[in-house]
Amino acid sequence: MAYDPDVAITLWPEYFDINRTRSEGRRLPKELCVQNPDLDIIAKGAMILDLEYEVREDMSYPKAPRAQHGCVKVEKGVMSKTELLPKIGEILVSNQSGNGRR
């Protein structure tokens, strides 16, 4: 399925931030989260999964509208958001541990 920004899945860095609680926006267990998740690494995860994506640096997470951390919009249709989040989390964790930081 081709990338359509109107129906794309939005991936916020807050979903993958190990320092956030679930009520602050973390969507995964801490084992699949990292410190200071980066838009580029999230986009790299989408690329590894062979998904079309768009990095939007001008966006703000709804629970923190003053902090513009941006987001990554990923094509919808290949897998659901529930299936996609853990796969991206695994890529983030393996990338961060590969750099010797954890």
pLDDT in tens, 13-35: 999 999 999 999 999 999 999 99
Upper half-sphere CA count for residue 53 (Cβ side, 13 Å): 26
Percent of the chain with pLDDT strictly greater than 90: 66
* Whether the predicted pLDDT of 98 surpasses 80: no
Contact in structure between 7 and 54 (CB atoms under 8 Å):
no
Residues 54 and 29: their CA atoms lie apart, in Å, by 25
Give Cβ neighbours of residue 67 (< 8 Å, ≥ 6 apart).
Answer: 60, 61
Question: What average pLDDT does this structure show over 83-100?
Answer: 85
**What is the pTM for the complete model shown?**
0.86
> What phi and psi values does residue 15 have, to the nearest 5 degrees?
-60, -30
What pLDDT is stored for residue 54 in this prediction?
93
According to CATH, the topology of domain 9-96 is Phenylalanyl-tRNA Synthetase; Chain B, domain 1 (3.30.56)
